[in-house]
Amino acid sequence: MYWTLELASRLEDAPWPATKDELVDFAVRSGAPLEVIENLQEIEDEGEIYENIEDIWPDYPSKDDFFFNEDEY
pLDDT digits (tens, 9 = 90+) for 10-37: 998 999 999 999 999 999 999 999 999 9
Q: Measuring CA to CA, which residue among 50, 45, 11, 51 is closest to residue 30? A: 11
Residue 25 within any structural domain of the chain: yes
Residue 70 within any structural domain of the chain: no
Do 47 and 21 touch, CB atoms closer than 8 A?
no
Residue 2 within any structural domain of the chain: no
Please give the pLDDT value at position 68: 56
Domain tally, the chain:
1
Residue 33 within any structural domain of the chain: yes
18: phi then psi, degrees, rounded to nearest 5: -150, 155
pLDDT digits (tens, 9 = 90+) for 33-71: 999 999 999 998 888 999 999 999 888 876 555 555 666
Distance between CA 15 and CA 51 in Å, rounded?
9
Residue 31 within any structural domain of the chain: yes
Range of the domain at 21: 16-50
Question: How far from the centroid of its chain's Cα atoms is residue 42's Cα?
Answer: 13
Residue 43 within any structural domain of the chain: yes
Do 20 and 50 touch, CB atoms closer than 8 A?
yes
Please give the pLDDT value at position 73: 57
Residue 36 within any structural domain of the chain: yes
Please give the pLDDT value at position 29: 97
Residue 10 within any structural domain of the chain: no
